A and B are shown apart, each in its own frame.
Chain A
């Protein structure tokens, strides 16, 4: 690909491998049909605008914002879990000071959102939203409860596998990632068009957290590991094997 001439030299970011990202149009997920572009995207060589991005300070995150179980007078109902992991780039380097925002349904599969009409109870002790920043090693940790699966209207008898939404900022505007973390062994994977939209199975498996005994706290909460890999700078030709 030719570079566009803007007068400054740029170290571009690597493009994700083919099949590792979902397409915009995926007919089994009905809502994509009218919201996916049908004209070809213009391949853009990176300029300063793509390789820079917002760098948030710690002021955006409160001390207890990563604990979704202590935001109310009492504890929420549900299975207490600890979700932890690292944010890395595709070269394996940790991404420190990355802002992570999460949101999720309660244990009954209901979001605290006016448009969620699923007839499961709201939990007065659960808002279902939190945030944190990665440390110098790219590590993060949340305490929350396991969300419930819930029905939706995509097709007859459609159910979303239990998931936690993750929003992550890396070093550049184009490394921005919004995704969903799932739980191991969910029988709904096979029927979920959102999960199945990713062609490459190995990429899909990135979204499934792993049960982890080491971070499990005895008599208190199960641990799940979820590492997040953002696009990293392109390897120089010399580093490529």
Chain B
């Protein structure tokens, strides 16, 4: 019945290149703050640092983030969980999407609220990494170190125990709400990336 699938091969990815900032990460199109001031939830600031195989900061990467709200619900029709968006009533502008570009030091900061548990998963953000020298996006996840739900998260359990650490953001004891997360594209402490 179905025609040969060659007609419908998905379009291949190509690198975002060095000049994406003229459209994707202009002041207008960046989303450095996922949650408006009225968004309910525990507010967090996550500093991402992107490093290449030599440990050199990647100063031309873009990160996109996707997350549930503080109730653990995605603003999306395919989220079939029998619960409501916490944001729904208070923050009509909530999407759950972030987009930030790294600076000269390879760092960027995302302001958001900590997501709730989605079904039985531990709180996490989805990350897609784009950069010159990357022919396709790399996907990873940010979990929050110290969250007891991490121990029973079925995605973390797919990851060899010795590499799980690379998926944990760490909080700064001196500054409540501030977290850091390194993305090492290659090398000994290479971040776990997912084939999605």
A binds B: yes
> Which residues of A does B touch, CB under 8 Å?
4-9, 11, 16-17, 20-24, 26, 29-39, 41-44, 46-56, 88, 90-92, 101-103, 105, 111-113, 115-116, 127-131, 165, 167, 171-174, 176-180, 194-195, 197-198, 200, 202-204, 206-207, 228-232, 235, 239, 241
Chain A residue nearest to B65 in the complex (CB): A173
A159 CB, nearest partner CB in chain B, Å? 14
Determine which residue in A22, A35, A48, A128 has the highest number of CB atoms from chain B within 10 A of its CB, and name it: A35
Whether A42 contacts B192 in the complex (CB less than 8 A), given A178-B14, A179-B11, comes out as yes
Question: What are the residues of chain A within 8 A of B119 when measuring CB–CB?
Answer: 6-8, 47-48
CB-based contact A49/B66 at 8 Å: yes
CB-based contact B78/A171 at 8 Å: yes
Question: What are the residues of chain B within 8 A of A49 when measuring CB–CB?
Answer: 66, 68, 74, 118, 121, 124, 126, 141
Tell me the complex Cα distance, A47–B131, Å. 26
Choose among A194, A206, A241 the residue that contacts B9 (Cβ–Cβ < 8 A): A206
Question: What are the residues of chain A within 8 A of B139 when measuring CB–CB?
Answer: 44, 174
> Which residues of B does A touch, CB under 8 Å?
1-2, 5-24, 26, 29, 52-54, 56, 58, 60, 64, 66, 68, 74-76, 78-81, 95-97, 118-121, 124, 126, 128, 130-139, 141, 154-155, 157-159, 163, 185-187, 190-196
Question: What are the residues of chain B within 8 A of A113 when measuring CB–CB?
Answer: 18-19, 21-22
Choose among B18, B75, B155 the residue that contacts A55 (Cβ–Cβ < 8 A): B75
Choose among A5, A11, A31, A101 the residue that contacts B23 (Cβ–Cβ < 8 A): A101
Question: What are the residues of chain A within 8 A of B19 when measuring CB–CB?
Answer: 103, 105, 111, 113, 115-116, 165
Tell me the complex Cα distance, A56–B29, Å. 12
